[in-house]
């Protein structure tokens, strides 16, 4: 409030800050395969990570799709590539605040599905995937999220990979590699997002798997779930600024594969996936990133998705 001279007192405002409304920190879950086997959905779902409310229907993708790369800035969520019945090279964007705003951003270097995405506040990076005629690839490509256009070449991953998990700090991007054309792998790669060049070996995951969820704040990267010889409930973590093998974090509520992951600076979420009965999940589980421990149930998706939807978080435009 103002003092007797009409000047606003910052200390008074700070004391009353707890009464101010919290702005929503939003995540979008885009597409994915639904309950009926390989049927794909074009549904975009929005989730408020500050509240414990369930996700809500928030418009549609341009085309029903699964196995896209997801990443985002503070204002835009990106869905890149994927499978719409065949592989696609389309990159589209979605405003977190407007369900009707779906925009064609540009194109990948080639039609590609099962690729992984990561971003800081400036660049979105896509690594690996599977393209027609070439199988699984090690190509890394990027876009500048503020400027629409096609991807540019970044470099190469340490191995061909698909169905991997990606996360990033403000400076580093990390990929928990999934599988090659013939085997699952436990490699962790990293890049410096602001430059270009080939990826460097970071360390190893606790197991070889594909189809995990991954996310990070500025300090820790998390990988959760996946498929080894069966679905896994493993959650593991790395310290992004260092190198080394992943460490055990805890367990999911339910073993699954093919979920998607997103977070704010404090809490990480694992959404959807497929359980051991091959049923699509609408469950959203949460963890506290800075600690270790098991996940807990938090909320539900508006529509169950079982296989590799894309997701993005508005918090990742200002990673903290």
The answer to whether 202 touches 190, Cβ cutoff 8 Å, is yes
Q: Using the predicted structure, report yes or no on whether residue 85 has a pLDDT greater than 90.
A: yes
Confidence of residue 1 (pLDDT cuts 50, 70, 90): very low
Domain boundary assignment for the chain: 24-313
Mean pLDDT of 4-21: 45
Q: Using the predicted structure, report yes or no on whether residue 12 has a pLDDT greater than 50.
A: no
- Write out the H or E segment, with its range, that includes residue 15: helix 10-15
Instruction: Report pLDDT for 20.
Output: 44
Contacts by residues 273-280 (CB-CB < 8 Å, ≥ 24 positions apart) = 273/213, 273/225, 273/305, 273/306, 274/231, 274/306, 274/307, 275/231, 276/230, 276/231, 278/306, 279/35, 279/304, 279/306, 280/33, 280/34, 280/35, 280/304, 280/305, 280/306, 280/307
Distance CA 268, CA 270 (A): 7
Instruction: Report pLDDT for 18.
Output: 43
Mean pLDDT of 137-146: 98
Confidence of residue 272 (pLDDT cuts 50, 70, 90): very high
Instruction: Report pLDDT for 133.
Output: 86
Q: Which fold has domain 24-313?
A: Neuraminidase (2.120.10)
Instruction: Report pLDDT for 16.
Output: 43
Distance CA 212, CA 258 (A): 6
Q: Using the predicted structure, report yes or no on whether residue 237 has a pLDDT greater than 60.
A: yes
Confidence of residue 319 (pLDDT cuts 50, 70, 90): low
Instruction: Report pLDDT for 36.
Output: 63
Mean pLDDT of 110-118: 98
């Amino acid at each position: 409030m103002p003092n007797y001279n009409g000047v606003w007192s910052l200390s008074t405002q700070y004391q009353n800050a707890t009464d101010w409304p919290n702005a929503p920190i939003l995540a979008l879950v885009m597409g994915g395969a639904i309950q009926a086997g390989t049927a794909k959905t074009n549904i975009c779902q929005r989730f408020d990570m500050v509240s414990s409310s369930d996700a809500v229907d928030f418009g549609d993708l341009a085309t029903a799709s699964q196995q896209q790369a997801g990443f985002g800035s503070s204002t835009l969520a990106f869905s890149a590539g994927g499978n719409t019945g065949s592989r696609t090279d389309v990159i589209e964007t979605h405003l977190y605040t407007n369900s009707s705003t779906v925009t064609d951003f540009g194109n990948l270097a080639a039609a590609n599905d099962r690729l992984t995405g990561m971003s800081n506040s400036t660049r979105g990076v896509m690594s690996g995937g599977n393209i027609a005629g070439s199988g699984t690839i090690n190509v890394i490509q990027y876009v500048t999220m503020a400027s629409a256009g096609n991807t540019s070449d970044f470099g190469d991953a340490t191995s061909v990979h698909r169905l991997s998990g990606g996360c990033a700090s403000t400076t580093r991007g990390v990929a928990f590699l999934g599988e090659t054309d013939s085997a699952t792998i436990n490699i962790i790669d990293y890049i410096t997002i602001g430059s270009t060049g080939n990826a460097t070996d970071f360390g190893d995951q606790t197991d070889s798997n594909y189809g995990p969820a991954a996310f990070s704040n500025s300090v820790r990267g998390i990988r959760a779930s996946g498929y080894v010889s069966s679905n896994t409930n493993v959650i593991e973590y790395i310290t992004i600024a260092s190198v080394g093998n992943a460490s055990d974090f805890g367990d999911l509520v339910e073993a699954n594969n093919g979920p998607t992951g997103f977070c704010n600076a404090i809490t990480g979420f694992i959404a959807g996936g497929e359980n051991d009965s091959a049923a699509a999940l609408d469950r959203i589980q949460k963890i506290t990133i800075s600690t270790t421990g098991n996940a807990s149930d938090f909320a539900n998706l508006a529509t169950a998705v079982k296989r590799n939807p894309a997701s993005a978080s508005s918090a990742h435009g200002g990673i903290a």
